């Protein structure tokens, strides 16, 4: 157990220190992991049998029950840096984005309720309006992803842009167009910009709104800045920042509440992740929103730099949360895919 904890701790510490270095990386270093053309790739998967490294029989963690997990590896150099994930309603087909400006698509293979492999995985560059990879404009840090029907939105953190794609028509060959965003979003701090995008579907509060939340763009009260784009009530809001957590992604529950994935690091306490549940109806211009923690994990659990979350319902009607990690293309880190069942007590 001590060896596992030490390895996990080193990987997570590396994630905290390595990610800001993207700002100082050379173009050659960035391009080394960027995908230049669509390509089918092989991804290997190793099962994670236990989520708790201290008690391998444990299955319940807060409001979540561990279902299965995978450690993903590939000989394809551009595989990694996965920062956001969206699944189809069955939790099988997926679209992910890498923070080197790439799409990754494919299918999760299951044995009953347990993930066993990835299949049909394809990598492709994210294209701009001219049909060229957006990395040629030095737009690398694609950190967030949302779907509104066939329309995909990708958030770029360092340039503080959101790009719209007709993904339903063209798939990974879709050409992106930047959308108009609030002036305050464009002024978010470097490397702390938009980390989360959620498109609200019909039938829920804020239907037709694109929710954009920063990683750690703080307002005057030191809360995390968010934006409601489009819809009937556009404007800015804030997520109350507590215990030093930053925001890395969010997803909607079927009934409409917003789940926010958060992470934090300190030299004394190491790395932690947390999932908070926030009522969607509480988001409004000028609001400061908050909600209870459903789940927390630390270095005693099999985590890494968790950056993506999505939600689906399985065939039995259970609500399933899928978490994805960003390995920052570091040999010390891992790409993890974890699934949990939400237990509504």
Query: What are the pLDDT digits (tens) for 135-162?
Result: 999 898 999 999 999 999 999 998 999 9
Residue 64 CB-density burial (10 A; 0-12 exposed, 13-18 middle, 19+ buried): buried
Q: Which residues of 159-178 are buried (b: 16+ CB within 10 A; e: fewer)?
A: bbbbbbbebeeebbebbbee
110 to 115, 238, 319, 327: CA distances (angstroms): 4, 38, 16, 23
pLDDT at 35 over 50: yes
Task: Decide: 194 and 187 in contact? Cβ < 8 Å.
Answer: no
- Nearest alpha-carbon partner for 201 in 149, 151, 150, 162: 149
- In a 13 Å sphere around the CA of 143, the CA atoms on its Cβ side amount to 27
pLDDT at 16 over 80: no
The average pLDDT across 90-99 equals 97
- Nearest alpha-carbon partner for 302 in 319, 331, 325: 325
Distance in angstroms (rounded) separating the CA atoms of residues 27 and 126? 17
Contacts of 46 (CB under 8 A, 6+ apart): 70, 71, 73
Q: Read off the pLDDT band of 26 (50, 70, 90).
A: low
Distance in angstroms (rounded) separating the CA atoms of residues 117 and 111? 9
The average pLDDT across 286-297 equals 98
Distance in angstroms (rounded) separating the CA atoms of residues 2 and 267? 18
For residue 34, the model assigns a pLDDT of 85
Q: Tokens for 158?
A: 């360092």
Say whether 246 sits in a helix, a strand or coil: strand
188 to 71, 159, 161, 215: CA distances (angstroms): 33, 9, 10, 10
Range in 16-25, 59-68, 212-221 the model is least confident about: 16-25
**What confidence tens digit (pLDDT) does each residue in 234-257 have?**
999 999 999 999 999 999 999 899
């Amino acid at each position: 157990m001590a060896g596992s904890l030490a390895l996990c701790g080193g990987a997570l510490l590396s994630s905290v220190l390595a990610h800001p270095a993207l700002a100082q990386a050379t173009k050659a270093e960035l391009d080394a992991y960027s995908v230049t053309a669509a390509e089918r790739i092989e991804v290997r998967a190793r099962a994670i049998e236990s989520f708790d490294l201290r008690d391998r029989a444990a299955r319940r963690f807060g409001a979540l029950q561990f279902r299965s997990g995978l450690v993903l590896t590939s000989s394809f150099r551009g595989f990694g840096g996965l920062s956001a994930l969206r699944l189809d309603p069955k939790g099988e087909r997926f679209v992910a984005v890498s923070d080197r400006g790439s799409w990754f698509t494919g299918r999760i293979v299951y044995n009953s309720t347990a993930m066993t492999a990835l299949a049909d995985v394809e990598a492709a560059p994210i294209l701009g309006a001219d049909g060229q990879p957006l990395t040629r404009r030095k737009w690398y840090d694609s950190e967030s992803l949302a779907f509104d029907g066939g329309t995909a939105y990708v958030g770029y953190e360092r340039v503080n842009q959101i790009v719209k794609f007709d993904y339903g028509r063209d798939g990974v060959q879709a050409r992106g167009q930047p959308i108009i965003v609030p002036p305050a979003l464009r002024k978010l701090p470097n490397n702390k910009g938009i980390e989360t995008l959620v498109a609200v579907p019909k039938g829920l509060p804020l239907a037709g709104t694109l929710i954009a939340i920063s990683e750690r763009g703080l307002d005057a009260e030191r809360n995390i800045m968010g934006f409601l784009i489009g819809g009937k009530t556009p404007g800015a809001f804030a997520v109350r920042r507590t215990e030093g957590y930053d925001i890395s992604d969010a997803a909607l529950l079927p009934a409409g509440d917003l789940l926010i994935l958060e992470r934090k690091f300190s030299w004394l306490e190491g790395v932690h992740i947390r999932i908070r549940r926030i009522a969607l109806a509480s988001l409004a211009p000028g609001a400061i929103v908050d909600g209870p923690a459903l789940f927390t994990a630390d270095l005693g659990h099999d985590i890494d730099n968790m950056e993506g979350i999505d939600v689906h319902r399985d065939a039995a009607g259970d609500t399933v949360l899928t978490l994805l990690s960003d390995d920052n293309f570091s040999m010390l880190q891992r790409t993890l895919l974890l699934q949990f069942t939400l237990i509504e007590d």
